[in-house]
Amino acid sequence: MLKGFIVSAVVAGQICAAAYACDMQGKTGIVAENNLYIPVDAKSISTITIEKFNSILDRVEALYAPVLKARGKTLIIERNWTDGTVNAYAEQNGNDWSISMFGGLARHSTITEDGFALVACHELGHHIGGAPKIAGDPDEWASNEGQADYFGNSKCLRNYMKDDDNAAIVARMTVDALVQKKCEANFHNENDIAICIRGAMAGMSLGNLFKVLARSTKPLSFSTPDRTVVTRTDDNHPASQCRLDTYFAGAICEKDFNLPVSETDVNVGYCTTRDGYTDGVRPRCWFKP
């Protein structure tokens, strides 16, 4: 992919054309199409070096390559460190299921290490996050955008963090008071509480990225959720606050990350109102139960 050019790629057996990146629909990646490009030599406050970029993706690959192998698929992580694209995307070509990660995204000033890991988890979520799927997708392979966000925090990132010294990591963080309260209410040991906090704050990292790219001046907050109520599930990228709400819901959902999910039933493996949950459910700003 070349800066400033319109490029073509084969995605899910179809030809797509987009600036810098395209997703399974041939339109966007984790964020909407944008012209932001952060070259490898750009000055940035980001702490993600090429070594950290690769170590995060190594860890994701070690966890999920065996999961895909058990399904007869091969996980391919495209590591485009020198590419300044501020995006990421998922693709399926036969039994090769890939996610493409870019150095430009890692170098963005809003992106923390946990936030970058959550992007990789989002892209994996398109492959294995389960229902709801993108309506009208002829192959019905891609979990929709909100579901990929929700899977990212409720399943993948929790798995990614499980063996860390999470309490020590959180002790060095500035933690939102509501996040602290909700995580302590929904989890009962120090490590799970700390993982919940890290996931929520990773969601804020991405929420701030979405806000910047949308050129929004409206602040994001865990305490001011999006009050929109959709009449049918929205498969597209939700608004920035709605996506933060989704990441927060995923972080505080107490369902075990190892529980299987369903390709057709949105209730399997996740926190739902059907099962009596009020915390940790998918937000109504994109999801229609």
Per-residue pLDDT of 99-141, as tens digits, reads: 999 999 999 999 999 999 999 999 999 999 999 999 876 578 9
Structure tokens of 272? 């739902």
Domain that holds residue 67: 6-275
Residue 289 included in any domain: no
Residue 263, pLDDT score: 94
Residue 209 included in any domain: yes
Residue 62, pLDDT score: 98
Report which of 124, 116, 107 is spatially closest to residue 36, judged by C-alpha positions: 107
Inter-residue long-range contacts of 126-129, CB under 8 Å, 24+ positions, other chains counted: 126/23, 126/24, 126/90, 127/68, 127/90, 127/92, 127/97, 127/99, 128/64, 128/67, 128/68, 128/261, 129/155, 129/261
Q: Over pLDDT 70: what percentage of the chain?
A: 89
Mean pLDDT of 195-221: 96
Handedness of CA 191, 225, 21, 143 (dihedral sign): positive
- Please report, for residues 35, 44, 255, the alpha-carbon distance to residue 154 in angstroms, rounded to integers and kept in the order given: 31, 30, 8
Residue 157 included in any domain: yes
Residue 77 included in any domain: yes
Place of tokens 């501020």: 86
Structure tokens of 34? 């944008």
Distance CA 73, CA 280 (A): 30
Report whether 203 contacts 244 (CB < 8 A): yes
Return the H-helix or E-strand segment holding 184.
helix 177-186
Residue 142, pLDDT score: 94
Residue 58 included in any domain: yes
Distance CA 194, CA 277 (A): 21
Residue 1 included in any domain: no
Mean pLDDT of 136-160: 91
Mean pLDDT score of the chain, rounded to an integer?
90
Q: ω before 132 within 30° of 0 (cis)?
A: yes
Residue 34 included in any domain: yes
For 254-264, the pLDDT digits (tens) are: 999 999 999 99
Mean pLDDT of 261-288: 97
Residue 283 included in any domain: no
Q: How many domains does the chain have?
A: 1
Q: What are phi and psi of 143, to 5 degrees?
A: -60, 145
Least-confidence region, from 20-29, 135-144, 151-160: 20-29
DSSP secondary structure string, 208-248? HHHHHHTT--SPP-TTS------SS---SPPPHHHHHHHHH
Distance CA 241, CA 219 (A): 9
Split at pLDDT 50, 70, 90, the class of 228 is very high
Mean pLDDT of 171-181: 98
Distance CA 183, CA 287 (A): 22
